[in-house]
Amino acid sequence: MASNSLEAWSRSASRPVSPGPGQAGMAGRWAAMMGGTALGLLGVRRGGWGGVALGAVGAGLFLAGAVGAGAVGRPLEAGLAAVRRGGAPARRRPHRTPERTQAVVTIAAPAETVYRFWRNFANLPKLMPWLDRVEVLSATESHWIAKGVDGEPVRWRAVLDRDDENALLTWHTAGETPLPHRASLMLKPAPGGRGTEVRLTLVHRHPPSDVAQLLGLAPDRQGEEALRRLKQRIETGELSTLERQPHGERGLGFGSGSAGREEGTR
């Protein structure tokens, strides 16, 4: 019964419905009411959230036909597409799916050494050539200035979310920025006592191609390059030649205790 109704409604919906009074308008209203009834029956049979959604679409179609609302063709087409897909019309996502990339490297050094260097965000331009500088504003906030491909600087404010000493750092951009993203650095012992496994995760709101247009390098390449330089600096002992970080509350370098002192000072 429901199947026959759906087929009849599908045939009716495939023909254009002219708005306005008269036979054509009445035919469109009847098609909407029939389609709404069919969708409601299908929703009852399906059950669950999908059935509820189909029932809601059917009720809307029936009401549109009953009151003679204009532009019946649009809800009819949306309902027909739902039946063909076997579910309710898909909702548009308010934002695109974030793009997540990861880079991993093993560094022949204890986690504390890696943590102390990265914890002072002012050190990061030494690992990321696309960064001009990072200004540490407080124990949890910093201002990043990147070198834009077009010569214009790309700026954002970063807020530290989590700080597990020698284990995990997470941060995200805040406020208006052309490059919204979040990131994390995870440290754990490498298998076989080979040092520390370092995992850098970047999650961007924009596709990699857009990020590359801004900074000249896609996120996956950014992570790989940053960890390659980090490994080289730490394993070759270059940390001892780096400048001292500013003093202040927790060192104002996103550090705490000894981790807040200059990365190469022991």
* pLDDT over threshold 90, residue 12: no
Instruction: Evaluate if residue 209 carries a pLDDT over 70.
Output: yes
Q: Is the pLDDT of residue 167 over 80?
A: yes
pTM of the model: 0.56
90 neighbors 214 (Cβ within 8 angstroms) = no
pLDDT in tens, 170-200: 999 999 999 999 999 999 999 999 999 999 9
Written as six digits, the tokens of 128 are: 């990321």
Distance CA 196, CA 115 (A): 10
The mean predicted confidence, pLDDT, of the chain is 73
pLDDT value for 96: 66
Select from 266, 257, 248, 15 the least CA-distant residue to 122: 248
The tens digit of pLDDT for each residue in 82-126 reads 444 444 444 444 446 788 999 999 999 999 999 999 999 999 999
